[in-house]
Each structure stands twice: as structure tokens, then as C-alpha cells.
Structure 1
Amino acid sequence: MSRPVPEAAPIVGLVLAFAFALFGLLFSSDHLATALVSVVLLYPFVIFGVVRSESPADVFLPDAVLAVGSLGGAPLLLYGIATGRPLFGALVAAVVAVPPALYHARFGASVNPLSPDATLLVGLLAAGGLLAYGAAEGLLLGALSAALVGLGTVDYHRQREDGLDRRSRTVALVACLGGGLAAFGALTVAGRPTEGLAAGAVLVAIGAAFAADADLQ
């Protein structure tokens, strides 16, 4: 009896993703949306293959996965900026690039020139910048992008350095919760309660990710 080959699942995902991408390129002018849906079609099959594989790092080479994610995400971000849709470009780029980066953090040797702490700081600043820019230009896209970048950065740090020490984790948690309440209050007073709730939820979610470090250490 032949054994199941979960590593073949990404091939099915690639066929579906490329078929949709080709259809989108031919019949749609919204290339960012086409890229987003294509990736959303692909990644569940890739995740299935990784989770069910007996040795994922031997099948899905971490450095190659990271390179594909980076080379796929960067042009999408630049395309979004060039076409006047920077937040949507940032969201699509994050969807493309963050999962490969987290896969590499789990299975590959670090190629990041920054330390885990420096990467955490840069990632959180980027998430905060997306959230702040989104408050002015489109908070839904900004909040989604910030959530992906912020939560991904916390998870990356956890994989590379087993999370923060207790004092730093407490400071980060208080800052996120306080920032979430402040954002919700400020935007609510400004007559934008829904956007305030979205911004607060992102910061609280990042704070919860820091709190989870205590249970995982």
C-alpha cells in the first residue's frame, strides 16, 4: 500500500493559484487583489504539506522558502506604493512574506543581520507605523497589515530567542494594552469608534502574543 504524500499538496495549491492568477491578469485590472487571492489559495495547501510532512525542512528548504517569500513580497509592496495603494500593497506583501519568514525561523539557520531584539523593535515600529498611517488613510487595511507584521515579529523573536525576559515582557504587555486603550479612546472621541476598536484590537492582540510567551517558555 502506498503511503500518503502530503508534500505533494503544495503542487495542487500551485495549480489553483496559478490558474486564478492567470485568470486575474487576463480579466482584472486589480493585480494586487489577484495576487492576494492567489496566495490565499496556495498557502493552505503549503501549510498542510509542512504540518503533515515527516521532515519538512528536507522537502521545503528554509532558505529557498524565505527567498521566495521575500522576492514575492517586496515587489508587491513597491507596486502598491507606485499605484497609490500603499496600505493594500503592504497587506498583500505581509500575507506573502510573513509566513515564509516564520517558517524559516522555525527550521532554518538565521540569515538576519539584525539581532532578534533589534528585529523585534523594527517589526513593532513598522506595525505601529502601519497602524498610524492607516488611521489617516484606511484603518482596516492598516490594522490588518499591522496585525500580521506585529504578531509575526513577536513569533519570530520567540523562535529565535525564546521570547522576552519577564521584565521586558511586562513592559511590552503594558505598553500594548495601554496603547490599545488610548487608541480606542482617542478615535472614539474623534467620532470614529469602529476604527478605534480595530486599532485597539490590534494592539491588544500583540500584547496577548507577548503574554503567551510566559506560557510557552
Structure 2
Amino acid sequence: MSRRVPEFAVLTGVFLGVSTLVSGAVLAWGLYATVVVGAVVSYPFVAFGIVRDNDPAATIPPRWLLAAGAVVAVAGGVGVVVGDPTPGGVLSAVLVAALLGAPAAAYATRFGADLNPVAPRITVLAGGAAGLALLVAGLATGRPLVGAAASVLAGLGAALYGTERGVDVDARTKRLVAAGGGVVGIGIVGVGVARGGPLGPWLLVGIAAAVVPSLYAALTRARSGGSRRPRRSR
């Protein structure tokens, strides 16, 4: 019975997702609404099945789920751009795609899909650069909240991916990174003060820049330096 519960939950989630897609097509909801509603009704059941399963990778192959998540993410992002083909709409599409694809990417990373051809350290650096770019894009398009949220997902997601893939950062370096994030955040707020005008967007972006490195250090505190458990070879 313990094996049937997670498998039944996954099947239920898939059934609800497919039903939503059919309903959206029949009722002409639009691509964005259909994809988001489908993800909202199906993801919790799939997550429940994963948590309750003793061997999730045997029930749900990581590569299959990653592929499905990528399709959902791309569809959701395209749906946003179709409805709002502006630079701000593109930024919102990035956020939606990241939100929809993050669960599948996290699962694939945790259970070893190993599809990323880029070295983990390069992925971490690329994620940090993307996070900064998204912060700037949020200010440039007048959507600082969207840019900050997308930045957190990109930067923190890449950092946690690197940790899972064996990028070993000692506690001292993490403290320096967290301090550096604080300095960058203060600098961003300082630029906003110097430019004049509403300070709210600059304050929001500065907080995001300061919080992400500290949040990463806190989430990976138990795996700093020698305290991290050795990974099994694949």
C-alpha cells in the first residue's frame, strides 16, 4: 500500500494537469492561464507522491520530469509574452518560467539527472550574473518587484545547484560573499538616493541584492567546508 499511495498521487496530478489543459483549450482560457492553473492543480499531488515515496527516482524518472517541467516553463513564459510583448512583459515571462520550472529542476538536481553540460562553478557564476542583470532589468522596465523576484530565483537557484553538485565553499568565503552582497545592496540604494525620485524601487532591489548571498549562506551552513558529506560517485 505504501508504494501505491505515491504512485496514485502522481497519477492524480497528471490527470488533473491534462484535464486542465483540455479545459483551457475548450474554454479558450489562453496559454498563460491554462499552464498556470494546470501547474497549480497538478504540482501539489506530484510533490506529495515524491515526498511519500521511498525511491522517487524509480517512480518518476528525473529526466522525464525535467523535460515536462521545461515544457511547462516555456509555455508559461510564451503565454506571458503573447499577452504583453514589451520589455517588462519579457521580464515577467522570465519570472513565470522560473517559477514553473524550478520544482522540476530542483527534483532533477536532487536525484541526479546530470543534464547540465556546464561545470557547476560556471553555473553558479552565470546564475549570479543573471541575477544582477535581472535586478537591473527590473529597474529599467519599471518592474522592480518582478526583477527582484526573478533575480532571487536565478541567483539562489544557481548557488544551491552548485552546492548540490559539489561546489565546496568554506564558511569564511560565505561570510565574505554575504558581506559583499550587503555592500552591493547599500550601493544600489545610494545610487537611488543620488538620482532622486521615488526611492522604493531602489530600496527593494538593494534589499534583494543583500538578502540573496546571506540566504545562501544560511541554507548551506551545515555543508560548509569539511562539514559537507562526501558525494557518492556516479
TM range (shorter): 0.7 to 0.9
Give the 3 Å change call, closer, same or farther, for CA 123–193 of structure 1 in structure 2.
same
TM-score w.r.t. the length of structure 1 is 0.84
Q: Which runs of 5+ in 2 are unaligned?
A: 225-234
- Residues 181-200 of structure 1: pairs in structure 2 closer than 5 A: 181-187=186-192, 190-200=196-206
Equivalent in the alignment of 2:112? 108
CA distance, structure 2, for counterparts of residue 33 and residue 139 of structure 1: 23
2:212 to 197, 200, 206: 206
- Quote the sequence identity (%): 31
Q: Deviations over 1:135-169 (max 9, x none)?
A: 12111221221122222111111100154234542
Give the 3 Å change call, closer, same or farther, for CA 141–21 of structure 1 in structure 2.
farther
2:149 to 141, 144, 152: 144
Point out the structure with max Rg over C-alpha.
2
Any idea what SS the aligned residue of 2:165 has? Answer: helix
Equivalent in the alignment of 1:154? 159
CA distance, structure 2, for counterparts of residue 5 and residue 77 of structure 1: 33
Q: Name the count of aligned residue pairs.
A: 215
Q: Which amino acid aligns with 1:103?
A: Y
- Aligned partners of 1:172 and 1:210 also within 8 Å: no
Any idea what SS the aligned residue of 2:122 has? Answer: helix
- Residues 29-178 of structure 1: pairs in structure 2 closer than 5 A: 29=30, 31-77=31-77, 80-81=80-81, 84=85, 85-137=89-141, 138-178=143-183
1:27 Cα deviation after fit: 3.8
CA distance, structure 2, for counterparts of residue 187 and residue 39 of structure 1: 37
CA distance, structure 2, for counterparts of residue 214 and residue 87 of structure 1: 32
Equivalent in the alignment of 1:15? 15
CA distance, structure 2, for counterparts of residue 38 and residue 210 of structure 1: 30
Q: Deviations over 1:25-81 (max 9, x none)?
A: 43434x324423332332222222111111111111112122222333245445545
- Aligned partners of 2:35 and 2:72 also within 8 Å: no
TM-score w.r.t. the length of structure 2 is 0.79
1:210 Cα deviation after fit: 2.8
Equivalent in the alignment of 2:227? none
Which structure shows the bigger proportion of residues in helix conformation? Answer: 1
Give the 3 Å change call, closer, same or farther, for CA 181–55 of structure 1 in structure 2.
same
Give the 3 Å change call, closer, same or farther, for CA 151–41 of structure 1 in structure 2.
farther
What is the CA RMSD across the aligned residues, in angstroms? 2.5
CA distance, structure 2, for counterparts of residue 198 and residue 21 of structure 1: 36
